[in-house]
Amino acid sequence: MSQKTKWALDPTHSEVHFKVKHLVISTVTGTFKEFDGSFQTENEDFSNAQIDFSLDVSSIDTNQEQRDVHLKSADFFDAEKYPKINFKSTSFTKNGDDYVLQGDLTVKDLTRPIKLSVEYGGTATDFYGNEKAGFEIKGKISRKEYGLTWDAVTEAGAIVVGDEIKLDINVQFAKQV
């Protein structure tokens, strides 16, 4: 049995962004300010890593306080009842220099499979001798598949919030000794 290596998320060098169409003509970008994650692997190349990641729903920030309050409400995430968005990997497979990450994403009380593309940024040692690994993760989900079904239509018939959410996540992990 090979030795498992554990890696912990470095939140000061990580970001979680999302984009959604607004009125079909423009894009709103948001971020989650608080999140946590870890993974463990038995391989040097990270394949088959077991990954856990969670977002704190109340940390959502779209640079517009009223919109953020609405997103935290029962119309959308219902942050009081469902404070976390969780992800657990089912596979992490090498694809050239990069990876394909598959897993289960849970928003509110709905869990659905998701497939994400992962660009491996490499590993480096910081000033303090900690080994770090960087990844850029991209993907798309349908918000309605996760029970985020609030909809409105303008008088002219434009949909206020698009269904497709683009995810753009940059994470750095520190090897645990």
Give domain limits for the chain: 5-176
pLDDT category at 157 given cuts 50, 70, 90 is low
Higher pLDDT, 32 or 161: 32
Quick one: what percent of the chain has pLDDT higher than 90? 58
Q: How far apart (Å, rounded) are the C-alpha atoms in residues 135 and 133?
A: 7
Bridge partners of 17?
Answer: 31, 168
The model carries a pTM of 0.87
* Helix (H), strand (E) counts: the chain: 1, 11
* Three-state DSSP state, 46: coil
Average the pLDDT over 55-81 and give the result: 92
132/11 Cα distance (integer angstroms): 12
- What is the CATH topology of the domain spanning 5-176? Lipocalin (2.40.128)
Query: Token pair of 67, please?
Result: 């919109």
| Cβ(35)–Cβ(18) below 8 Å | no
The Cα angle at residue 75 between residues 69 and 161, in degrees rounded to 5: 85
Structure tokens at 164: 């497709």
Instruction: Give the chain's mean pLDDT.
Output: 87
Residue 21 — pLDDT band, cuts 50, 70, 90? confident
Q: Which residues pair with 153 in a beta bridge?
A: 159
- At residue 38, the pLDDT reads 92
> CA nearest 39: which of 69, 8, 11?
8
* pLDDT tens track for 109-156: 999 999 999 999 999 998 889 899 999 999 999 888 887 776 655 565
